[in-house]
């Protein structure tokens, strides 16, 4: 079968994460209309009859100023090195500019097969696509040029077929159920950040970060250990009928760890009580009573760089942070299948974007 890594790269905001989610048919990466939303490489694994494509969603290619951005770019470089195929995404609604030149220069150095994906064709005229093809076709040695709409799913079947053509014959690297390898804590922090990005503007998206400080199951007692988090992730999969992420750490590239049989047994036992009946989607017999729903406590810190930022994130009479909390709680409750107490704090941490300690903490959430 065909198995390989496919890097999704391009300028910030061209639709890489939207494409990743569309290809997988589920949300793995957060999306926003602000640039530089994705800060690390995110794997999205698609297993089909034909094989396994491991998509690597990446931060946007840009000239890095802060340590944060340098680290973001280092994720891009390692994805370029690791992949069997590179998909360069461009935003068809934007004119060719300096940012694009920088991208082209970055890609000139790689010898890996390259596709050009002209995205957002749902909102432009056909003639514009032809002009873009004309502009790009001689800039780099593209094996394929495919106009797509990540949002509407246009031409993604064509894309997938072409990708398989360029992947090597190999054994699967992940089991069929694995869709991503982001740890649960990181995913939850990202959901909070997504809701935050929706509510802030200007420089705020760049100067904010989210760190999950505490994740505890309350009621059954105790802090969630790694195995418990796996169990929560497992429940996620049963409730949304989507495969669970495995908590193997997000540092890329990393070998997947298959949960041992014993661990799986534990996860099964732990989640059985509140897991819905698979066939009917109803809670298991005898578990419908009020108060049986699992309660999870999550506290997270939103880092900002200045007091003025803190005021904006909190908002007048706390309205902004309240809305972020409401929206994040709604989504996290669905993911965890639990009632959530969400405690959000906003902390000023000057120059956190240049602090390796803070960046380690944020990137290392597991």
**Interface contacts to ligand GDP, rule CB under 6 A:** 12-18, 31-33, 37-38, 60, 119-120, 122-123, 149-151
Per residue in 307-329, is it b (16+ CB within 10 Å) or e — as a string? eebbebbbeeeeebbeebbebbb
Residue 365: closest CA among 279, 303, 280, 290: 303
> Considering the rule CB under 5 A, would residue 180 count as an interface residue with Mg ion?
no
* Contact pattern for Mg ion over residues 232 through 271, marking x by CB under 5 A: ----------------------------------------
- Minimal distance in Å, beta carbon 278 to ligand GDP? 33
Q: Which residues contact 75 (CB under 8 A, 6 or more apart)?
A: 40, 41, 58, 59, 252
Minimal distance, residue 123 CB to ligand GDP, in Å? 5
Output the smallest distance, CB 312 to Mg ion, in A. 23
Q: What's the min distance (Å) between Cβ of 105 and ligand GDP? A: 19
Mapping DSSP to helix (H, G, I), strand (E, B) and coil, where does residue 282 land?
A: coil
Binding mask 36-75 for Mg ion (x = CB under 5 A): -xx-------------------------------------
User: Which of Mg ion, ligand GDP, none does residue 33 bind (CB under 5 to 8 Å by kind)?
Assistant: ligand GDP
User: Please, what is the minimum distance in Å from the beta carbon of residue 90 to Mg ion?
Assistant: 14
Decide whether 119 or 236 has the Cβ nearer to Mg ion.
Answer: 119
Name the residue with the smallest CB distance to ligand GDP. Answer: 15
Can you tell me which of 9, 17, 107, 178 binds Mg ion, judged by CB under 5 A? 17
Say how many residues touch Mg ion, by CB under 5 A. Answer: 4
**Of 289, 297, 261, nearest in space to 273 by CA:** 289
- What distance in Å separates the CA atoms of residue 44 and residue 274, rounded to the nearest whole number? 28
Helical packing angle, 184-199 and 319-336, nearest 10°:
150
Residue 160, class by beta-carbon neighbours within 10 Å (0-12 exposed, 13-18 middle, 19+ buried)? middle
Is there a contact between 284 and 272 (Cβ–Cβ < 8 Å)?
A: yes
Q: How far, in Å, are 44, 144, 357 from residue 335 at the CA level?
A: 18, 37, 29
Residue 37 or 234 with smaller CB distance to ligand GDP: 37
Q: Which residues bind Mg ion (CB under 5 A)?
A: 16-17, 37-38
């Amino acid at each position: 079968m065909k198995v390989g890594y496919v890097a999704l790269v391009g300028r910030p905001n061209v639709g890489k994460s939207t494409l990743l989610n569309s290809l997988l048919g589920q949300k793995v990466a957060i999306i926003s209309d602000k640039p530089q939303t994705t800060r690390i490489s995110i794997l999205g694994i698609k297993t089909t009859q034909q094989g396994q494509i491991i998509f690597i969603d990446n931060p946007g290619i840009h000239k890095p100023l802060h340590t944060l951005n340098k680290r973001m770019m280092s994720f891009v470089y390692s994805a370029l090195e690791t992949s069997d195929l590179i998909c360069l995404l461009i935003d068809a609604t934007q004119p060719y500019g300096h940012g694009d030149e920088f991208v082209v220069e970055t890609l000139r150095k790689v010898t890996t097969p390259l596709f050009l994906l002209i995205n957002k064709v749902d909102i432009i005229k056909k003639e514009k696509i032809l002009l873009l093809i004309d502009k790009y076709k001689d800039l780099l040695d593209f094996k394929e040029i495919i106009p797509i709409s990540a949002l509407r799913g246009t031409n993604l079947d064509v894309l997938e077929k072409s990708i398989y053509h360029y992947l090597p014959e190999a054994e699967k690297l992940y089991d069929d159920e694995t869709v991503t390898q982001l740890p649960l804590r990181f995913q939850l922090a990202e959901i909070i950040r997504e809701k935050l990005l929706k509510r802030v503007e200007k420089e705020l998206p760049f100067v904010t970060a989210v760190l999950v400080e505490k994740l505890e199951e309350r009621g059954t007692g105790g802090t969630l250990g790694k195995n418990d988090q796996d169990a929560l992730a497992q429940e996620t999969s049963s409730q949304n009928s989507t495969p669970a992420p495995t908590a193997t750490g997000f540092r890329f590239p990393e070998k997947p760890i298959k949960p041992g049989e014993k661990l799986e047994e534990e996860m099964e036992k732990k989640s059985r009580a509140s897991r819905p009946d698979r066939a009917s989607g109803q809670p298991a017999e005898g578990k419908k009573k009020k108060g049986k729903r699992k309660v999870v406590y999550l506290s997270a810190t939103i880092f900002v760089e200045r007091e003025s930022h803190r005021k904006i994130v909190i908002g007048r009479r706390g309205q902004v942070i309240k809305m972020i909390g409401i929206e994040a709680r709604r989504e996290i409750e669905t993911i965890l299948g639990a009632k959530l107490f969400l405690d959000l704090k906003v902390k000023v941490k000057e120059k956190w974007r240049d602090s390796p300690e803070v960046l380690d903490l944020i990137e290392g959430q597991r």
